[in-house]
């Protein structure tokens, strides 16, 4: 049991997961399951973005769904209305979300805690209202149609589900790889220092504003990437894609998986997306379950599945006196490092 | 001139409603330092409770209003006991997420019972008062008078009674309040009950000239947040003044600028003000 558990934290588990994801379309019972998995991966990318600013940097960003919609709309409008092809529009969506993210970040990150959360809530709502009301640009409630999929090559046609699944998977692996690099880098540790106490971080010589803005821009770019992929897959978007409820969904995924952990967003998103799929009849009322789930999670398991698992594993290995514990001990003694490396 | 007056009446009506909702929010923030994102859901439940009492049980408007206030007050106290109290030592981000959880839950429950449709709630005050060409619908007059009565009653309660004084004391200084033996649990429950009641009153007053639907709290709660940021989080006069500012900005902005963008005006105002003054318009200290 313990062996199995500690295996989960080894690199081998990572490769096993990748292999599983690669063969998933072959073992899936129908195309719909592949589609659900692809959309779960897209949400996971967005949740990784939320994890940067909220999990590592400690700022609750409630405009995240808005940036997701911004990426989706940028791609949708550029390909649908202005005749761009997918990849230039994709880059355009990334640049757009990064740019708007920078502007919003520069203003909003001067605010702390509650003020920041409320401000971003309003920003997200403004974005939603604009997609709904600015009909000349966004087509209003009708939404955007005729969104281009990426050009295929050979027998690969990205308008089909399975090739797009692999495309999304590639982006997801890149997103996680980058996040892993980030969380182990000085920059990632800087973000965590800000989360753990920004006065202390500042007195250590950390430039709060610059680092927070960087975290914010990174997170909105992730949201934009996910949004653009979403638009490319669904190929029809409307104002409801920017609904604040999507932000709340993402917070649920993040919290269930484990806020501030590396594998938490993936575990939480894929887990809950499949949970809601299996409770199809609940689709409309899923919040009856999600709402109390959020409350129970923050009260009893604030570290989520991954965080709680790592905590349990850590205690067990200490009890068993395994050699692995010795290696990790120094890291634990110096701080919260352990939860951020799984 | 007449249109101008009409806009003033509209501004006063909106400002009264926003002010009442913001008052509840600011009271809770002042005591517990929680931005209660679920407050809009309490407002929504208040409207649905009145609707339920009036349409399904057939009671009178005033009785429905009192019943709804009682139900929402109990609900708010339950939120405090079951959710915010256990989280009192957690990082602030957890309170916010838990509040969002309550909001999602209440909305889903209401939607399960009543569906997502827009409903109309009637009130006995459908007439129109005509002062020499100046027209005020009775319900709007009722909203303005009702808001004034509630604010005065709240002030009297807070200033003249012992229980009210404990709330003020705790808002001024938590440690000081503990030192003189004020029971924090009691004050917290009381504050939540008052904030829930105010939300239910506001919803019941406003529902007859608006519609009743599960998402009706979204825009209102966000505007209430804008208001208490403008007025300074925790400040009671700030909530009333801020409510009026937003109410008038919307009434006049919706009329003279664009009615389809009128909901954005409040948020645009917030973005502009916070960009220039990150601590809010009337706040004393920063953050």
Query: Nearest Cβ partner of B86 from A107, A291, A299?
Result: A299
Contact B16, B243 (CB under 8 A): yes
pLDDT (tens digit, 9 = 90+) per residue, A68-90? Answer: 999 999 999 998 888 888 888 99
A129 to chain B, minimum CA–CA distance in Å?
A: 7
Going A198 to A199 to A204 to A209, the CA torsion angle's sign is: positive
In this complex, do B264 and A126 lie within 8 Å of one another by their Cβ atoms?
Answer: yes
CB atoms B92 and A285 under 8 Å: no
What pLDDT shows up at residue A230? Answer: 92
Nearest CA in chain A to B224: A118
Range of the domain at A298: 2-340
Cβ distance B35 to A58 less than 8 Å, yes or no, reads no
Q: What is the pLDDT of residue A323?
A: 54
Topology (CATH) of B2-115+136-276 = ABC transporter involved in vitamin B12 uptake, BtuC (1.10.3470)
Distance from CA of B15 to the nearest CA of A (A): 19
For residue A282, what pLDDT is reported?
Answer: 66
Q: Give dist(CA B261, CA B183) in Å, integer.
A: 46
**What are B66-117's pLDDT values in tens digits?**
999 999 999 999 999 998 888 888 877 788 888 888 988 998 899 888 888 8
Q: Which residues pair with A156 in a beta bridge?
A: A153
- Interacting residues of A182 by C-beta distance below 8 A, sequence separation 6+: A52, A188, A218
Cβ neighbours of B218 in A, within 8 Å? 125, 244
Are residues B278 and A110, on separate chains, in Cβ contact within 8 Å?
yes
Calpha distance B146→B12 (Å, rounded): 12
Instruction: Please state the ipTM of this predicted complex.
Output: 0.81
Per-residue pLDDT at B132 exceeds 80:
no
By CA distance, what is B87's nearest residue in A?
A299
Q: How far apart are CA A159 and CA A233, in angstroms?
A: 7
The answer, for B94 touching chain A at a CB cutoff of 8 Å, is: yes
For residue A205, the domain's CATH number is 1.10.3470
CB A73 within 8 A of CB A137: no
Contact assignment for A129 to B275 by CB distance below 8 Å:
no
Give the largest CA-CA distance in chain B: 59
Residue B248: how many other CB atoms lie within 10 Å: 17
**Contact list, A284 vs chain B (CB under 8 Å):** 111
* 3-class secondary structure, A109: coil
CB–CB of B105 and A54 under 8 A? no
- Do A266 and A44 meet the contact criterion of CB atoms below 8 Å apart? yes
CA B164/CA A67 separation, integer angstroms? 44
* Chain A interface test: which of B36, B93, B223, B260 (most A C-beta within 10 Å): B93
- CB environment A295-305: b (16+ within 10 A), e (fewer): bebbbeebbbb
**pLDDT tens digits, one per residue of A235-271:** 888 888 878 888 888 988 898 888 888 888 998 899 8
What pLDDT, on a 0 to 100 scale, did the predictor assign at position A341? 44
Model confidence at B274: pLDDT above 80: no
pLDDT at site B1: 64
**Contact state of A287 with B105 under an 8 Å Cβ cutoff:** yes
Q: How many CA atoms lie within 13 A of B186 on its CB side?
A: 12
What mean pLDDT is predicted for residues B139-164?
89
At residue A24, the pLDDT reads 82
Give A246's contacts in chain B (Cβ within 8 Å): none
pLDDT of residue A337: 40
Do B242 and A78 touch, CB atoms closer than 8 A?
A: no
Residue B243 has pLDDT above 60, yes or no: yes
Q: Which of A117, A118, A292 sits opposite B105 (nearest CB)?
A: A292
Tell me the average pLDDT across B198-202: 93
User: Per the CB < 8 Å rule, is B229 touching A117?
Assistant: no
Helix axes of A264-278 and A304-320: crossing angle, nearest 10 degrees: 120
Tokens representing residue B223 in the block? 């505007």
Those residues with Cβ within 8 angstroms of residue B64's Cβ, 6 or more apart along the chain or in another chain: B49, B50, B53, B54, B57, B204
**CA atoms B185, B187, B190, B194: torsion sign:** negative
Find the distance separating the first CA and the last CA of chain B, reported in whole Å: 42
Place of tokens 């838990």: B98
Contact B94 A302 (CB under 8 A): yes
- Output the CA–CA distances (angstroms, integers) from residue B180 to B27, B160, B170, B184, in the order listed: 21, 18, 10, 11
* Chain A: closest CA distance from residue B141 (Å): 30
Contact A113 B92 (CB under 8 A): yes
- Cβ neighbours of B137 (radius 10 Å): 17
Q: What is the DSSP string of chain B?
A: -HHHHHHHHHHHHHHHHHHHHHHHHHHHHHHH----TTHHHHHHHHHHHHHIIIIIS---HHHHHHHHHHHHHHHHHHHIIIIITTTTTS-HHHHHHHHHHHHHHHHHHHHHHH-S--B----S---EEEETTEEEEHHHHHHHHHHHHHHHHHHHHHHHSHHHHHHHHHHH-HHHHHHTT--HHHHHHHHHHHHHHHHHHHHHHHGGGS-B-GGGHHHHHHHHHHHHHHH-TT-HHHHHHHHHHHHHHHHHHHHHT-STTHHHHHHHHHHHHHHH-TT-SS-SS--
Q: How many distinct structural domains can be found in chain A?
A: 1
Please judge whether B93 and A54 are an interchain contact, meaning their C-beta atoms are less than 8 angstroms apart.
Answer: yes
What is the helix (H) or strand (E) element at residue A139, kind and residue range?
none
Strand partners, A237: A144
Q: How many CB atoms lie within 10 A of CB B133?
A: 8
Nearest CB to B287; choose among A115, A125, A126: A115
**Chain A residue closest to B112 (CA)?**
A285
Asked if pLDDT for residue B223 goes beyond 90, the answer is: no
Q: Does the beta carbon of B261 lie under 8 angstroms from any beta carbon of chain A? A: yes
Nearest-neighbour CA in chain B from A302: distance (Å): 8
**What Å distances lie between residue B32 and A69, A173, A300, B36, B84, CA to CA?**
34, 42, 20, 10, 9
Task: Answer whether B62 touches A (CB < 8 Å).
Answer: no
Test A293 with B108 for CB contact under 8 angstroms.
no
Residue A110 with chain B: CB contacts under 8 Å: 278
Mean per-residue pLDDT, B142-156: 90
Which of A112, A126, A290 is the closest to B104 by Cβ? Answer: A290
Q: Using CA atoms, how far apart are residues B25 and A15, in angstroms rounded to an integer?
A: 49
Residue A185, judged by CB atoms within 10 A of its CB (0-12, 13-18, 19+), counts as exposed
Closest Cβ opposite residue B229 in set A115, A295, A299: A115
Contacts 24+ apart (CB under 8 A), B124-127: B124/B60, B124/B61, B125/B61, B125/B208
B229 touches B270 (CB < 8 A): yes
Q: Is B176 on the interface with A (CB under 8 A)?
A: no
Of B138, B120, B126, B146, nearest to B15 (Cα)? B146
Q: Which of B102, B108, B233 sits opposite A288 (nearest CB)?
A: B108
pLDDT tens digits for A202-242? 888 888 889 999 999 999 999 999 999 999 888 888 888 87
Q: Which residue of A has its CA nearest to B265?
A: A126
Q: Please give the average per-residue pLDDT across B119-130, as a whole number.
A: 80
**Token pair of A218, please?**
């990174």
What percent of chain B shows pLDDT beyond 90? 22
B265 pLDDT higher than 50: yes
A vs B, Cβ pairs < 8 A, gives 120
Chain-chain contact of B92 with A114 (C-beta, under 8 angstroms) = yes
Q: How far is A294 from chain B (nearest CA, A)?
A: 5
Spatial CB neighbours of B270, under 8 Å, sequence gap ≥ 6: A119, A122, B226, B229, B230
Average pLDDT, chain B: 85
Contacts of A168 (CB under 8 A, 6+ apart): A38, A41, A42, A45, A229, A233
Q: What residue segments make up the domains of chain B, in order of their start?
A: 2-115+136-276
CB contact B35 to A (< 8 Å): yes
- The DSSP code for A339 is G
Residue-level pLDDT at A208: 86
Which one of B96, B97, B222 has the shortest CB-CB distance to A122?
A: B222
Rounded (to 5) percent helix, strand, coil in chain A: 80, 0, 20
Q: What are the mean pLDDT values of chain A's consecutive 10-residue runs (342 residues total)?
A: 70 80 81 88 93 88 92 90 86 94 89 83 87 82 80 74 87 91 88 86 87 93 93 86 84 87 88 81 73 85 84 81 51 42 45
Q: Write down the pTM of the prediction.
A: 0.84
């Amino acid at each position: 049991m313990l062996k199995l558990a500690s295996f989960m934290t080894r690199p081998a588990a990572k490769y096993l997961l990748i292999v599983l994801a690669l063969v998933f379309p072959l073992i899936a019972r129908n195309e719909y399951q592949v589609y659900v998995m692809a959309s779960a991966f897209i949400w996971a990318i967005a949740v990784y973005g939320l994890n940067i600013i909220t999990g590592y940097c400690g700022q609750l960003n409630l405009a995240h769904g808005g940036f997701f919609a911004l990426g989706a709309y940028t791609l949708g409008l550029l390909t649908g209305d202005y005749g761009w092809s997918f990849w230039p529009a994709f880059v355009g969506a990334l640049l757009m979300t990064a740019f708007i993210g920078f502007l919003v970040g520069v203003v909003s990150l001067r605010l702390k805690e509650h003020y920041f959360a409320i401000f971003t809530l309003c920003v997200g709502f403004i974005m939603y209202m604009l997609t709904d009301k600015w009909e000349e640009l966004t087509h209003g409630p009708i939404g955007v149609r005729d969104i281009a999929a990426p050009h295929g090559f050979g027998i690969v046609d990205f308008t089909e589900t399975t090739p797009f699944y692999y495309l999304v998977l590639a982006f997801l692996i890149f997103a996680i790889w980058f996040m892993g690099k980030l969380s182990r880098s000085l920059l990632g540790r800087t973000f965590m220092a800000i989360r753990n106490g920004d006065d202390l971080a500042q007195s250590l010589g950390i430039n709060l504003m610059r680092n927070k803005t960087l975290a914010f821009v990174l997170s909105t770019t992730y949201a934009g990437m996910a949004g653009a992929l979403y638009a490319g897959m669904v190929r029809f978007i409307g104002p409801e894609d920017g609904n604040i409820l999507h932000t709340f969904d993402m917070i649920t995924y993040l919290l269930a998986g484990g806020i501030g952990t590396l594998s938490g967003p993936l575990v939480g998103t894929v887990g809950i997306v499949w949970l809601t799929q299996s409770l199809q009849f609940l689709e409309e009322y899923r919040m009856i379950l999600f709402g109390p789930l959020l409350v129970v999670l923050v009260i009893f398991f604030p570290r989520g599945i991954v965080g709680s698992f790592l905590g349990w594993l850590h205690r067990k290995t200490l009890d068993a006196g395994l050699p692995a514990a010795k290696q990790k001990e120094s890291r634990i003694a110096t701080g919260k490092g352990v939860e951020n490396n799984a | 001139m007449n249109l101008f007056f009409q806009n003033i009446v509209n501004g006063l009506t909106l400002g009264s409603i926003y002010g009442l909702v913001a008052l509840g929010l600011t009271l809770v923030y002042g005591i517990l330092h929680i931005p209660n994102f679920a407050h809009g859901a309490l407002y929504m439940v208040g409207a649905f409770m009145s609707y339920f009492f009036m349409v399904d049980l057939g009671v009178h408007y005033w009785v429905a209003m009192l019943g709804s206030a009682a139900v929402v007050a109990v609900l708010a106290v339950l939120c405090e006991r079951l959710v915010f109290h256990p989280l009192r030592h957690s990082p602030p981000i957890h309170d916010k997420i838990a509040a969002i959880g309550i909001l999602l839950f209440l909305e889903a429950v209401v939607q399960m019972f009543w569906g997502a449709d827009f409903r109309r709630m009637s009130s006995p005050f459908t007439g129109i008062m005509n002062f020499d060409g100046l027209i005020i619908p009775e319900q709007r007059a009722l909203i303005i008078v009702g808001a004034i009565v509630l604010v005065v009653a709240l002030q009297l309660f807070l200033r003249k009674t012992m229980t009210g004084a404990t709330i003020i004391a705790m808002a001024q200084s938590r440690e000081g309040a503990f030192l003189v033996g004020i029971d924090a649990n009691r004050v917290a429950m009381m504050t939540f009950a008052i904030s829930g009641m105010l939300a239910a009153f506001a919803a019941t007053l406003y529902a007859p000239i608006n519609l009743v639907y599960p998402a009706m709290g979204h825009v209102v709660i966000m505007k209430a947040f804008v208001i208490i940021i403008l007025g300074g989080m925790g400040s009671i006069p700030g909530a009333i003044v801020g409510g009026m500012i937003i109410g008038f900005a919307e009434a006049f902005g919706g009329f003279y600028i664009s009615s389809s963008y009128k909901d954005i005006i409040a948020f645009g105002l917030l973005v502009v003000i916070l960009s220039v003054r990150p601590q809010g318009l009337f706040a004393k200290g920063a953050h």
